[in-house]
Structure 1
């Protein structure tokens, strides 16, 4: 490492991209790396970039999160390992959908899925750790993406489409009584109210009429409960939007009780991942009630 200390920052950056960032690429493409491993990899890359050594000698000049952004965003173009790892696992899911002739995909269908579809598949407890991680990355993102689009006002509700002359009217696709805005669709529509009422009974908490609530400051809720409730709200947002699209494009919609079952089915997969290990008795009793 003595010679590398004399390298310029540009030279160190090239070595980080060409060597350090490539050593774990194979493993990161087949399973989710432990957070401790990713933290160690990033620490080695960060220390080498600023100090020319894997050891920590001085405080970095620029935050690592800033460095791991594209050059157009002011970064150095390095990959964020956590995001890249998730994207690589997403590729495996794409293979399952788009490349059924691949040997690995055939093995997955033979051992785990056995003719079922993603919407009805439930990962068994006896499955391997790797497959559970792959499955977990499928159940969460589809909720998170729609929730993210909701928070950034990116969902194409009919009030938007009507203003752009794409839709012939601006009425709610589900109830048809009022203008379809985000506030109406997810909180004011009778269908959404019915689903949320069932959710509140299921979890034992009254939820406010907003998805922007910060639950972390609620003294009554532990970190585990905050995470589960946020997952439930994301699933509610996803399935109400899905029912809205089903009503608009296929002229059919499930009853609120049927929508609740879909939400429960998918959230329970997340709960299985969270319920391992020790926890306060009150939290465990709550999780058992949800299951």
Structure 2
């Protein structure tokens, strides 16, 4: 039986190895189909990191903060129409929908409204450079939505989506809150 015995990790009928100890301690890695969407060289690392957190639903959205007992009201501060969750904030919020619409218009392509990953995977026939460019723009959009949400929460005002999208396309970066 595999496991920890005394000071050693053992496999049946095998000697201890560092690899066997590491494998025993580590959970199996789950293969994801979105890693090439998030980790593209054209994207800024902070955009990719926020995108990675969104894919894992690890950002501290208001619904999560309410579950932790940190806040009482989980209403989206961008639209004031629904509880703020990852799916609401990045797909269903009217504010985020406006961002996506403006970016779609400016890039001259139809961007998804529900599943960026399914859409990105469906673009397999497109060139890698086009896919990476669009992924980088979507990651910048994700970052911008999160940045605007935090700016509104901390400073109490909301930036216009058309100004933010224009800044993204001109290469001007938003600063962290």
Give me the TM-score of the superposition, normalised by structure 2.
0.69
Partner of 1:190: 94
What aligned pairs does 1:65-84 form with structure 2 within 5 A after superposition?
73-74=22-23
What aligned pairs does 1:1-291 form with structure 2 within 5 A after superposition?
73-74=22-23, 140-208=44-112, 209-213=114-118, 215-218=120-123, 221-266=126-171
Q: Say whether the 8 Å CA contact 1:159–1:179 is kept in structure 2.
A: yes
Residues in 1 aligned to 2:94 and 2:67: alpha-carbon distance in whole angstroms: 24
What count of residue pairs does the alignment treat as equivalent? 138
Shift of 1:267: 8.3
Which structure's relative contact order is higher, taking Cα pairs within 8 Å and 6+ residues apart? 2
Greater helix share, structure number: 1
- The structure with the larger Rg is 1
Residues in 2 aligned to 1:146 and 1:198: alpha-carbon distance in whole angstroms: 21
Shift of 1:72: 7.2
Gaps of 5+ in 2: 1-18, 24-40
Shift of 1:264: 1.1
Q: What RMSD in Å do the two structures reach over aligned CA positions?
A: 2.7
Shift of 1:207: 1.3
Gaps of 5+ in 1: 1-69, 75-136, 269-291
Shift of 1:210: 1.9
Listed one character per residue, the Cα deviations across residues 123-154 of structure 1 (whole Å, up to 9, x for unaligned) are xxxxxxxxxxxxxx8x6101001000000111
Give me the TM-score of the superposition, normalised by structure 1.
0.43
